[in-house]
Amino acid sequence: MKRLLIAILLACITAGVAYALFLRTCPETRRFDCEIKWLSYKLALSPEQTERIRAIHLKHCPSMNGLGTQVKTCGDPALKDKLVQACGQSTDRLIQEVQAELTAEQRVAYAALLEARGQQKQSVPVSGQSR
């Protein structure tokens, strides 16, 4: 009986380690970690701020990414508008929560990063539209 329990425990530990390794090597996780490190560098975040902002992104990004995927595949214009609005609201909540963790100086730098990103996205034509 003890051997069975030990075998089950070892199997659970092995599965946990394998899952942790998978998450670390997953391209999306790497990209996400790179984005957080970049943001930390650009805003000169403290380690504590970096962790809190990482947690905020982990909280909001799955729903934002899911909504973004639905927007791309949605054929109904009315539903697409609602999805775009929901995605925008989720993004606004993320931005507000991140700003709450920043100093006044960091908020100015963050606003500049967001503005530059917005201009970058606007310069890419949306399918069916010209610049």
Concatenated DSSP letters of 55-82:
HHHHHHHHHHHHHHHHHHH---HHHHHH
Instruction: Give the rounded percent of residues in the chain with a pLDDT score beyond 90.
Output: 24
This prediction's pTM: 0.60
Residue 129 CA, distance from chain mean position: 27
pLDDT confidence of 96, banded at 50, 70, 90? very high
pLDDT at residue 6 is higher than 90: no
Q: Each residue of 23-52: pLDDT tens digit?
A: 555 545 566 778 888 889 999 999 999 999
